[in-house]
Every structure is written in C-alpha cells, then in structure tokens.
Chains A and B, each alone.
Chain A
Amino acid sequence: MPGPDLLSSQGLRLDGRRPNELRRIRCKLGVFTQPDGSAYLEQGNTKVLAAVYGPHQASKSKSSVEGVVVNCQYSMATFSTGERKNRPRGDRKSQEMSLHLRQALTAAIKTELYPRSQIDIYIEVLQADGGAYCASVNAATLALVDAGVPLRAYACACSASMAWRGAEPAPLLDVGHVEEAAGGVVLTVASLPSTGNIALLELSHRLHSDYFEIVLSRAMQGCRDIEIILDRAVREHLAEGWTKQDIVTI
C-alpha cells in the first residue's frame, strides 16, 4: 500500500543520497562582465544563472522613498525542462516564481540604504531538475554579493519532503525532480540562516501538522548547510581576486 518507495531498505534515496544530504552544489561568482553582479549555481542537475543590475535610479512609477525597489524576473530557458517549454517567461508559474524570489530577496537586502533606487535581479534557469526556486534564491544571493549589495544575511532556500523508512518518518532534504514527481509533499523554505528567520515558506500537497515540524527543521538544516557552501564560495572568489576567464582561441 505505501506509495512509491523513496527510500531503499538500506536507507538510500533513488539517487544514492541519504535523507539528510543535499545534492552536489557547485557555484561561481562573477561569470559575466556586463552586469554589476552575476553568479552561476548548480544544484545537482538544476543549473541557474543570476545577474544583478543596480542599485540604479528607479523608474518613476516604481520609485519608493522607503527603500530600494527589488525587481525580479524569473525565466526558464525553453530547453531547460524535459518536455520543451514554449515560452521562457510570462506564464503564471514564472510570474509566481518572480514574486516569491522578490519576497525572499527583499528580506535579505538592506533596502533602507537606497531610497528611490532599484535593483534588478534576473534569473535564468538553464536546466531544471527539481528545486529550481531554491537554486534561484541561492544563485541570486551570490550575484548580490558579487554586485556588492549590502545584505542583512545570506538568503538560502532549500526544500524538504516526507518519506518513511519502514514506519519511521524520514524527511528528505533537497528534493530532486524524480522525488518531486513521485508525489507527496514538498516544503520549500527560503530563510536567512544566520538570523534563523524564514523569509518564505511554501507547501505543496497536504502534510499533517504532526510532521510539519520535522520537515521544516530538516529544510532549515538544509538552508544552514547551503549557507556554509555559499559562504565558502564567496570567500574563495574574493581570495582569488577577480580574474578574467582564460581565453582559448579557436
């Protein structure tokens, strides 16, 4: 009767991870020259580019004296998904994602420093293999750091899902596409791990409130793990200094 087995009897997930393990994260800051800040981040097979322009003068309509306006656009390359997408953005899903990104990133930026200004954050998903939103938030954080935008804390996002090993609940960290497609809950959390605050939380499907706590704490643990990885990447990037990419002539 139990649904698809997401955990083997040896306690491994379909791709060989243990329940509390993240996918492999590789990232790089400063991949482009024209934007003020840019970053590339891979979370397993999910690959995301982020570019930041600004802070610059805000357009009149958006301008706010309170603080900087954060403008986000989430876009997916047409070849990023298994079945080809017809349009990269403008659909309901992308618009929702843009809003969610803005929500999480606004919480991280010290907005009060730049009244009447605007920061543009553009996300391009090159490959989507589950958890595209999380990867986007993480990449955007790196791009903001690269652009030198003052942040309160790193904004990190991570997802978690629910599985059972025998009768024991075993929440899964950093849900991949296969696990997402298997059905069941996906809890996505964007948080500022160093403050412990949650910037955004989204839950798909039904999850009993008894399990909410353990799934959430697993996702929060994932955010903290990601923060360590991002922080290391930032430090390495700064230590290297900004070096132009090696150029190979063909």
Chain B
Amino acid sequence: MAGLLLSPTEKIYILHGVQDDYRSDGRTNIDYRPMELETDVVSHASGSARLRLANTDILVGVKTEIDVPKPDNPGLGKIDFFVDCSANATPEFEGRGGEQLANNISNMLQRAYNSSQAFDLKQLCILEGKQCWKLYVDILILECGGNLCDAVSLAVKAALFNTRIPFVKAALMDGGSVDFQLSDDPYDCKLLEAGTAPLLVTLCKIGDKCVVDPSAEEESCSVISLIVGITGNPKYYSKDAIETPNFKCKCSTIGMNGPGSVAPETFKNAINQGIIAANSLDEALGRALLRERQECNNFKKNSYGFLK
C-alpha cells in the first residue's frame, strides 16, 4: 500500500505466477494467508474480536445502545458501522488522513449487511415501534498488510458472534413512555445470531485471473479488484449442525475498486471464485469461533490480547 515500490520484473514474476495458479508465497489463487483470531479482547464492549491476517491487524468492538426504531421499520433494530484507520498503521492516516479509506470500507459493510438474509435485525427489537437495540460496530485498523476489506469483514463477523445482549424486560407505560428493567445477573444475556453475516472477498484481477487475499505486492500489480459480499451459512456456527437448516450462500453486494475494467466473462468467473473462497472461509471461521466459545465455557478464558 504505502510507498511500496516494485520493479517491472518483479511485477511480471507475480503475474506469471498467478496465471499458473501458483503465487509467489506458494499459495493457490483462492488461498488465504494465515490468520490469528481472538474474541472478547475488549472487556467492556458487548462483543469484540481481534483478527490478524498476515500483517493486517484489525480490532472490532461492538457496543449496544437503546434506541427508537425507524418508523417505517418498527420491528427492526439498527446496526451501524464505523471504521477508524489508526495512525499506528501508517503516518499517512494521521489526523483525517484515513477517512476516505475508512468511509469506503464502512459503506461496503453497511451495504453487505443491509438485507434480512445477511443479518436479521429483528433480533434487536425490544418493543415494537418503541424500543430496539442499536449496535455500534466500531472497527479499528491498527496495521495495514493488504486486503483490509476481507479482514474487516471476518473480524466483524467474529465480534458479532461474540456479542452478548442483556435481556431486557420492557413494558409500555401510560403516556407512551417505555420502562425497562435489566436483570442484575451479568450472565443473563442472549447471544447474537450472526451465522448469516456476510463476508467480503476481494478478488484482485492480475492479468486475466483473479486472486483472493492479495499481498501488498500483488495489490500493486493489479489495476482493478472486485469485492463481493457473500452471506454466511449458520450451519457452521451451531453446535448441532444437523438441526440447523443449510442455507445457500447468497451474494449480498458487489463492488469494484480501481481504474481498470473487466470483461463480463471474467466477472462471472470471479464471482464464482469468490463464493467458493467465502464458503471455505466461513466454515473455517465458524469452527474457530465455536472452539473458542467452548473453551470459554469450560474455564475462565485468559485473554491474551496484544501480550501474546
């Protein structure tokens, strides 16, 4: 990204590799780089996750607030995405330097989540037309090592999966005001259903082919990239997989980024490639999150955070 200089020879080397489905670091075109994931890292957020994809470091915190639903959707809650590019990642982000990139990503997420099949806002309803939860999904980009969109979407999904919403008993009072009671038991919470939450897959067009999870070097070889948002499959996020219906992945958003252009045929292939990549990514994420939750239940989790 920032100040990366590649010679033409290096670029050609990368290009040829992609053509042969064998990339410079040994991956195939739909392989991701190794990731590290930890949930519940910000103790006073309702849900949080930290994801490290190679050198990309994302921290997501979910906070909840009580809000009034929109009049046209009285039974739905609200979800809001906010991306902050920390100057820790690069001095370019200092001040308002990262704002444009941040807006791009948050808009992409907002669009990807804007469907009942991607994320069910009904579960955030407290009292129809009167009160609902508003989720603030705050994404902090701490280090940029390429492929921000994908990393962000993974971290967001993990954080939502980790989010606990307190049980609230609400009752309508005379005069239309709402009165609600919170349980004094901190364990009295419900977990969000985030199985269908979409993942974003960036397909970077290099030559005629596309690769997922481009490294910073690969990104600089490409003129255009496609971003597809693919809904998740709740099957991967439930302990008894049999009872949970098997959802087919759906494409909830498509975006393009960069100055180049794409042939329709490449486009179609790319989307299919994205769906396959997203599906395997989703499955891996689900497995990791379930394992972590299991560990949490067995003994009090020791949070590593940044100390590891």
Contacts and interface: CB of A to CB of B under 8 A. Distances in A.
A127 interface: yes
A77 B59 contact: yes
Interface in A217-250: 245-250
Contacts of B44: 45, 82, 127, 129
A75 B87 contact: yes
Contacts, number: 115
A49 B84 contact: no
Contacts of B37: 250
A120 interface: yes
A89 B95 CA distance: 8
Contacts of A71: 94
B111 interface: no
A124 B86 contact: yes
A21 B88 CA distance: 31
A32 B43 contact: no
A136 to B, nearest CB: 12
B186 to A, nearest CB: 15
Contact of A79 (B48, B86, B284): B48
Given A34-B143, A34-B144, A45-B43, A122 B82 contact: no
Nearest to A27: B307
Interface in B181-202: none
Contacts of B143: 32-34
B207 interface: no
Contact of B306 (A45, A49, A248): A49
A79 B136 contact: yes
Nearest to B154: A250
A129 to B, nearest CB: 8
Nearest to A52: B88
Contacts of B94: 71, 73, 120, 122
B61 interface: yes
Contacts of B34: 247-250
A35 B142 CA distance: 11
A137 interface: no
Nearest to A51: B88
B182 to A, nearest CB: 15
Contact of B285 (A28, A88, A250): A250
Contact of B91 (A27, A120, A246): A120
A126 interface: yes
Interface in A60-90: 71, 73, 75, 77-80, 82, 84, 88-90
Interface centre among B34, B35, B140 (most CB of A within 10 A): B140
Contact of A40 (B145, B288, B307): B307
B213 interface: no
A127 B42 contact: yes
A120 B87 contact: yes
Contacts of A89: 95
A84 B91 contact: no
Interface centre among A77, A120, A250 (most CB of B within 10 A): A250
B308 interface: yes
Given A78-B61, A84-B138, A122-B86, A248 B91 contact: no
A47 interface: yes
Contact of A77 (B35, B138, B306): B138
B88 A32 contact: yes
Given A77-B138, A78-B84, A79-B42, A250 B284 contact: yes
A28 B88 contact: no
Contacts of B285: 250
Given A49-B306, A75-B86, A84-B65, A250 B48 contact: no
Interface in A25-48: 26-28, 31-35, 38, 40, 42, 45, 47
Contacts of B48: 79
Interface string A110-143: 0000000000101010110100000000000000
Given A34-B144, A250-B37, A79 B63 contact: yes
Contacts of A28: 306-307
Contact of A49 (B88, B90, B95, B144): B88
Nearest to B84: A88
B18 to A, nearest CB: 22
Contacts of A27: 307
Nearest to A84: B63
B61 A26 contact: no
Interface string B258-289: 00000000000000000000000000110110
B158 to A, nearest CB: 10
A247 B36 contact: yes
B142 A245 contact: no
Contacts of B91: 53, 120, 122
Interface of A: 26-28, 31-35, 38, 40, 42, 45, 47, 49-51, 53, 71, 73, 75, 77-80, 82, 84, 88-90, 120, 122, 124, 126-127, 129, 245-250
Closest 5 pairs (CB-CB, A-B) = A79-B61, A40-B306, A51-B88, A122-B87, A78-B138
7 contacts: A31-B306, A33-B55, A34-B90, A78-B140, A79-B61, A250-B34, A250-B288
